[in-house]
Amino acid sequence: MSLRVEGLKIYYRTLYGDVKAVDDVSFTVDDGEIMGIAGESGCGKSTLGNGIMRLDGRMRKVGGTVELDGVELPIGDDRAMDRLRYKELSIIPQYAMSALNPTRRIRTITRDLLKTKKVRYSAEIEEFRRRLDLVGLDEKVLRQYPIELSGGMKQRIVMVISTLLNPSLLIADEITSALDVSTQRAVGEMIIEFRDRGYVKSVMVITHDLSILAQISTTILVMYAGKLAEKASADTIINAPLHPYTQLLISSLPEVGVRYEDRVLSGIVGTPPSLLDPPEGCRFHDRCPFAFERCHEEPPFDEVAPGHFVACWLRSKSSVSADAAAAAPVADGGEG
Amino acid sequence: MRRYFLKKISIYLLTFWVAVTIDWGIPRLMPGNPLQVFLLKFRAQPDAAKYLQAYFYKAFGFNEPLWKQYLYYWDGIFHWNLGVSMFYYPTPVATVIGQHIFYTMGLLVPAIICAYFVGNRLGAMAARRKVLDNSILPASYLISGTPYQWFAMLLAFFLGALWHLLPESNAFAFGTTPVWTWTFIGNFLEHWILPFLSLFFIMLGGWAIGMRNLIIYELESDYAHWLQMLGSPARLVRRYAYRNAVLPQLTGLALALGTFVAGQIVTEIVFNYQGVGLLFFNAITNSDIFLMQGAFLLVIIGVLVANFVIDIVYVLVDPRTRVSMMGAEG
């Protein structure tokens, strides 16, 4: 068990009150697991990933615990976290292409970073070269400045530097968003390669792009409005999702080989609720085509099948209204 | 690289030519006859005055056609012969400037450099601590917003005239002549403190405010966030931010140093300090066109040299300029 998150709440402090971006979230990530976190913009997926790494000035941990390899992470204590960052958990940020100081050589940046972790550059240089080679970069980049490199090269360098100390958990935040599809695939394969070689034990991939998750992740966690909606293996989420939100999300993706002249691609009606004052009960209920009375109470995040968690009253073991369950058939593969 | 510098040098030469031409033309466009003021010095008989006027008219070359005067001026520049000052007649302009420039340099160069270093440090400190930001920033706005002449006169009035702590006028005591003795140097330093302090404080605020804003911008950049995400200590983040933020400040420093030769006219008037500024002031009030031209020429050369030096320094300290240079070449 690599990562265990229990009842985590991260709120943003604003003038109008707390924005409940991550609200009572519990899940685990196993060793070797590449877990994708998917959801619309503003659903809290980036807050979850970044919050585990570092709470910025506006974020506040309100409750819950995060355990990495059986040791609780001092999420709220920036100083104590500094000792664990980079060594135990690391991140490839959303802005990887501009994450390198433009006026320092790659070599200098790496040396300075390692020095802060009391690691000698000379001890890591061989491994560093090997890994640069693995991602297709010549060792001459070490002597170059970031401005001399392309965006893709910088991103790969950041990936290598971020994982150089073999962290237990790697958080990859929207790393494929700015890339074309073939580069997306290459970056995805690098993540898998890093996991297979043991550079990282487990990975959390944050993205709004379900197709990249279908390619690289072992499990997918779907978030909606600060809450978890569904977690299951990537196959299950793509082919047999149970939560109405996941079903609608999957069905709004285009499919290869389908002519959309004949079939209208459906979207999800409405917009996500404001997290300043989220609705009572299931947060999806006012957009959900299957909503019924019970949905005004908050659904539990139940394990309905081994490894398959859903937060929906329709699927809940505790109380299933037969009529409602019949009304919402299990969707198969992207059928809208 | 070579093409870059050749391009730069030709631009500088062109600028020099235009600036010198303006420098030569402007004093000649001033209203009034410069000789009139000059001849007042001789208080001669009316008919002798007429003779003198004819003589000096020729001596200063006013009888030649304008294009010839212009060419003579250029010829003079190449031989470092800037003509004879009318106000300090018959001392050559170059000598007059040479006598005064030491005082200006001794005053301004230390003031600019001290203000630069202290201001940058203060600004960087303000950027990282709220308490300091709330004290240094308003103080900086206050002193850089203060009218300089008022501030200088307050210093001169209180520390000099009222409390007699320091001499508030001249570069050295009346009756002494500049010689390399310890007594004179001590005397000179004593006279130096007040004008130095007035300049130092007035310039300090601007550097501090600029640096604070630049550092805050750098600390919000992606590379700073990434370093923090990876648990780097604040020291490393600050070091990177400072090194990047100081680059635009260097341009300001070079320009400040480049224009110093013009002297700080107001300082030198308030403290009656015999530098180039005071000289400049005298040249203008006495229509001494040759001295004016000489002082302007000094400013032109100073600014151009400072800019050229900063071009080179930038190439050395900022890899971004090097890369764009290669781009221009390739």
CA terminus-to-terminus distance, chain A: 36
Partner residue facing B319 (CB), from A90, A147, A158? A147
Lowest mean pLDDT among A301-310, B130-139, B257-266, B293-302: B257-266
Three-state DSSP at A232 gives: strand
Range A172-195 average pLDDT: 88
Radius of gyration for the alpha carbons in chain A, expressed in angstroms and rounded: 21
Does A60 contact B at CB distance below 8 Å? no
In a domain, B295, yes or no: no
Task: For residue A68, list its beta bridge partners.
Answer: A3, A71
Q: Which domain holds residue B117?
A: 96-287
In a domain, B117, yes or no: yes
**Rounded Cα–Cα distance for residues A16 and A232 (Å):** 36
The answer to whether A219 and A195 have CB atoms below 8 angstroms apart is no
The answer to whether A2 and A69 have CB atoms below 8 angstroms apart is yes
In a domain, B12, yes or no: no
**Rounded Cα–Cα distance for residues A212 and A234 (Å):** 11
Q: Tell me which chain A residue has its CA closest to the CA of residue B319.
A: A103
pLDDT tens for A221-261 read 999 999 999 999 999 999 999 999 999 888 887 766 666 66
pLDDT of B323 above 80: no
Cα B254 to Cα B103, B248, B260, B266: the distances in Å are 20, 10, 10, 21
pLDDT tens for B219-263 read 999 999 999 999 999 899 999 999 999 988 988 888 888 777 666
Quote the longest CA-to-CA distance of chain A. Answer: 67
Please give the mean pLDDT across all residues of chain B: 84
pLDDT interval class at B119 (50, 70, 90): very high
Range B144-167 average pLDDT: 84
Residue A171: the pLDDT is 95
Residue A317: the pLDDT is 63
In a domain, B215, yes or no: yes
pLDDT tens for A119-152 read 999 999 999 999 999 999 999 999 999 988 988 8
Cα B141 to Cα A6, A15, B146, B151: the distances in Å are 50, 29, 8, 14
Residue B268: the pLDDT is 86
Partner residue facing B228 (CB), from A54, A100, A162? A54
In a domain, B149, yes or no: yes
Task: For residue A5, list its beta bridge partners.
Answer: A27, A66
The answer to whether A2 and A31 have CB atoms below 8 angstroms apart is yes
Q: What total number of domains does chain B contain?
A: 1
Does A189 contact B at CB distance below 8 Å? no
Give the B window 231-260 contacts with A, CB below 8 Å.
Answer: 231-233, 236, 240, 243-244, 247
In a domain, B282, yes or no: yes
pLDDT interval class at B14 (50, 70, 90): very high
Radius of gyration for the alpha carbons in chain B, expressed in angstroms and rounded: 25
Cα B78 to Cα A56, B28, B293, B297, B299: the distances in Å are 63, 21, 14, 12, 17
**Rounded Cα–Cα distance for residues B279 and B299 (Å):** 13
**Rounded Cα–Cα distance for residues B190 and B160 (Å):** 11
* Tokens representing residue A126 in the block: 């061989």
| CA-based nearest residue to A9, from A61, A84, A73 | A61
Please count the residue pairs, one from chain A and one from chain B, whose beta carbons lie less than 8 angstroms apart: 71
Print the SS3 string covering A204-215: EEECCCHHHHHH
CATH value at residue B269? 1.10.3720.10
In a domain, B105, yes or no: yes
pLDDT of B135 above 80: yes
| CA-based nearest residue to B86, from B48, B65, B56, B44 | B56
Chain B residues whose beta carbon lies within 8 Å of the beta carbon of residue A81: 231
pLDDT of B324 above 60: yes
Chain B residues whose beta carbon lies within 8 Å of the beta carbon of residue A101: 223, 240, 244
Range B118-144 average pLDDT: 88
Would the CB atoms of B227 and A85 count as touching at under 8 Å?
no
Chain B residues whose beta carbon lies within 8 Å of the beta carbon of residue A110: none
Would the CB atoms of A85 and B231 count as touching at under 8 Å?
yes
Partner residue facing B231 (CB), from A81, A100, A145? A81
Would the CB atoms of B231 and A83 count as touching at under 8 Å?
yes
| CA-based nearest residue to A203, from A242, A158, A159, A155 | A159
The answer to whether B224 and B241 have CB atoms below 8 angstroms apart is yes
pLDDT interval class at A322 (50, 70, 90): very low
pLDDT of A318 above 80: no
Task: For residue A171, list its beta bridge partners.
Answer: A91, A204
Partner residue facing B319 (CB), from A53, A91, A103? A103
Would the CB atoms of B319 and A101 count as touching at under 8 Å?
no
pLDDT tens for A276-311 read 888 888 999 888 888 888 899 999 998 999 999 999
Q: Strands A202-206 and A169-173, how do they pair?
A: parallel
pLDDT interval class at A331 (50, 70, 90): very low
User: Residue B161: how many CB atoms within 10 A of its CB?
Assistant: 11
Q: Which residue has the tokens 């000598």?
A: B95
Buried/exposed A197-231: b ≥16 CB within 10 Å, e otherwise? eebbbbbbbbbbbbbbbbbbbbbbbbbbbbbbbbb
**Rounded Cα–Cα distance for residues B116 and B208 (Å):** 8
Please give the mean pLDDT across all residues of chain A: 87
Residue B262: the pLDDT is 64
Does B316 contact A at CB distance below 8 Å? no
In a domain, B220, yes or no: yes
The answer to whether B120 and B204 have CB atoms below 8 angstroms apart is no
Chain A residues whose beta carbon lies within 8 Å of the beta carbon of residue B223: 98-102
